Amino acid sequence: MRHLALALALVPQALPAQPGQPAFTDRSAGMEDQVYGGGWTHFVGGGVAILDCDGDAMPELLAAGGANPTRLWHNDTAPGGDIAFTALPFDDPGEVTGAYPLDMDGDGRLDLAVLRVGPNRYYRGGPDCAFTDATAAWGLPERDAWSTAFSATWEPGNDRPTLAIGNYVDRSDPDGPFESCDTNLLLRPEGEGYAATELSPGYCALSMLFSDWQRSGRADLRVSNDRHYYVKGGHEQIWRLDPLTERVADEGLQRLMLWGMGIASQDITGDGLPEVMLTSMGDQWLMYNRGDHYEAAPYATGATATRPFLGDDGRPSTGWHAQFADVDNDGIEDLFIAKGNVDQMPGLATEDPNNLLMGRADGTFVEAAGEAGIATMVRSRGAGLADLNADGRLDLVVVNRRAPLEVWQNATPGTGHWLEVTLQQPGGNSRAVGAVIELRRPDGKVEAREVTVGGGHASGRAVPEHFGLGDVTRAELRVRWPGGAVSDWRPVEADSRLRLAPDGPDGAGLRTLP
């Protein structure tokens, strides 16, 4: 009773029990030895890549192990059934911190960018989830660093992606680790390989995301940095690509100094501009995108998630991976935040459950992780929400430090309608990274979703874009393709999966692929 009373005092807005309340079932059996472990260099990282690598529309998982093995888990689930995975062979390079799926070579198959303590590795995807190390073949540099962040975009005129690599502490600095942050790298296609440019100064990056934040047709790189090691002088960063310059505070940006760990992005206000969630020690920062500046959401929004909402540990929380997603398909975006002490930092909560913040129509959030059954007290790191059993509901994967991987099947009753959309286009950018999918509901409300690679905490997804529709059974959809072409609106039916490609020379049409 003491714990319950304290939890209610900490989170007065916690959801009461009610029909349709989020619920998850543990499907982690058989994966108990998938643990992210290791010493100091694996206090951070611990990501998971979610991708369909065998073409059956059932996503697989690549889970980072740190000092332990990194494994590829094949999805054995029957559509609509209980989620189950088995391990597949994977050429584990060791010391893996995270991974991101993307189509590097434009052949239509998903490849993998694998981050490491040591030289990163890039794997070409083949049939039946076979992956081959293509780092040298693709001309990518093999710098010995401590990589903890990644993002990718396709610059105009390029068939191959531009890659951003975020590096943490410079392990070779004898005066470190404090104030010894490594520089980050921008890798651009050049000839048959890649040319590396340092993004300096670096402030110990733990997350990166390329996005067209102002919907100007240009992707900028947001970098979230860890104040624990940059100590002073550092801040959150945004880099322009052309010309390569860092945006500064007098351009409408707040100069934020955070213990930055993760980035999530999604338009939740309906104006077409993506908001940003920045995880940290203590407060989690939801920033409204006002076009020419960002505005911090007020505390009453319920997204700050400052302290544990369960248990009797009242010290500040530590946020890692964050993701917007509609868990109950009610048409309102929810927010998941992975939580966990770095290791044994005394000023921060040790028992720090993950958050599942359910979005409400007035723009506020209410906590539901406890009622949903996912509020474990282990040290969580990377994560991802994706439909793992093709039932139209988003399931959850969580990587934990010194504790087993968690797989949670969404068992929420009475969920709303849904739509899943995958884009495909000719050329090297086969999955249309940078495209914006717009869904227009019968009441005129438009939800905009950008296809990106990056963000989170050491965790990436290449899965269909998922829209919750509530009680809506028909809507309209259009695509703003990379390069500027905009399709016409077309009707779509609820509870369906669409693969769409541009049709016609101007891209005004949308062709449905099998």
| Dihedral sign (CA 127, 128, 132, 134) | positive
d(CA 79, CA 389) in angstroms, rounded, equals 5
Mapping DSSP to helix (H, G, I), strand (E, B) and coil, where does residue 157 land? coil
Q: For 181-205, what is each residue's pLDDT tens digit? A: 999 999 999 999 999 999 999 999 9
pLDDT digits (tens, 9 = 90+) for 432-468: 999 999 999 999 999 999 999 999 999 999 999 999 9
CB of 83 within 8 A of CB of 407? yes
Q: How confident is the model at residue 504 (pLDDT cuts 50, 70, 90)?
A: confident
Compute the average pLDDT of residues 404-414.
97
Question: How high is the pLDDT of residue 250?
Answer: 59
CA–CA separation, 152 vs 189, rounded Å? 12
Buried b or exposed e, range 32-52, using 16+ CB within 10 angstroms: eebbbebeebbbbbbbbbbbb
pLDDT at residue 240 tops 50: yes
What is d(CA 504, CA 154) in angstroms, rounded to the nearest whole number? 22
Residue 470's CB is within 10 A of a number of other CB atoms, namely: 17
Cβ pair 38, 66 in contact under 8 A: yes
Containing H/E element for 3?
helix 2-10
Banded model confidence at residue 386, pLDDT cuts 50, 70, 90: very high
Res 384 pLDDT > 90: yes
| pTM: predicted TM-score of the whole model, two decimal places | 0.94
Q: Work out the pLDDT band at 507, boundaries 50, 70, 90.
A: confident
Q: What is the pLDDT of residue 320?
A: 98
Strands (E), 290-364: 294-296, 319-325, 334-339, 355-359
pLDDT tens across 328-357, in order? 999 999 999 999 999 989 999 999 999 999
Contact (Cβ atoms closer than 8 angstroms) between residue 241 and residue 220? yes
Q: What is the pLDDT of residue 92?
A: 86
**42-54 average pLDDT score:** 98
What does the pLDDT read at residue 340? Answer: 97
Confidence of residue 292 (pLDDT cuts 50, 70, 90): confident
In whole angstroms, what separates CA 397 from the centre of its chain?
A: 12
Cβ–Cβ under 8 Å, residues 434 and 162: no
> Could you check whether the bond before residue 413 is cis, i.e. omega within 30 degrees of 0?
no
Residue 5 sits at φ, ψ, to 5 deg, of: -65, -40
Q: DSSP letters of 378-397?
A: SEEEEEEEE-SSSSSS-EEE
The whole-angstrom separation of Cα 260 and Cα 228 is 9
Structure tokens at 479: 């695509």
SS3 438: strand
Rounded Cα distance, 322 and 396, in Å:
12
pLDDT tier for residue 252 given thresholds of 50, 70 and 90:
low
The stretch 215-242 carries a mean pLDDT of 95
Give the pLDDT confidence score for residue 224 in this predicted structure.
97
Averaged pLDDT, 275-303:
94
| DSSP single-letter state for residue 227 | H
CA–CA dist 150, 207 (Å, integer): 7
Distance CA 344, CA 259 (A): 16
Beta bridge partners of 71: 63
Residue 3's pLDDT is 33
Mean pLDDT over the full length of the chain: 93
Taking the C-alpha atoms of residue 149 and residue 167, their distance in angstroms, rounded to an integer, is 7
Which amino acid is present at 396? Answer: L
Count of CB atoms situated within 10 Å of the CB of 499: 15
Task: Say which range, 9-13, 47-51, 88-92, 141-145, has the weakest mean pLDDT.
Answer: 9-13
- pLDDT score of 351: 95
Q: What angle do CA 398, 401, 407 make, to 5 degrees?
A: 20
Query: Which conformational region is residue 290 in: left (phi greater than 0), alpha (psi within -120 to 50 degrees), or beta?
Result: alpha
The predicted structure's pLDDT at residue 442: 96
pLDDT of 4 strictly over 50? no
**Helix count (H) and strand count (E) of the chain?**
3, 38
Name beta bridge partners: 90. Answer: none
Six token digits for residue 3: 């714990």
| CB distance 500 to 490 below 8 Å | no
For residue 146, the Cα-to-chain-centroid distance in whole angstroms is: 20
- pLDDT at residue 9 greater than cutoff 70: no
Question: Given this model, what pLDDT does residue 117 score?
Answer: 98
Task: Quote the pLDDT of residue 213.
Answer: 93
* Token pair for 481: 């393709």
Note whether 477 and 469 are within 8 A (CB).
no
- Calpha distance 479→448 (Å, rounded): 9
- Reported as a single tens digit per residue, the pLDDT across 111-165 is 999 999 999 999 999 999 999 999 999 999 999 999 999 999 999 999 999 999 9
Task: Look at residue 14 in the predicted model and tell me its pLDDT.
Answer: 38
Q: What is the pLDDT confidence band of residue 249, given thresholds at 50, 70 and 90?
A: low
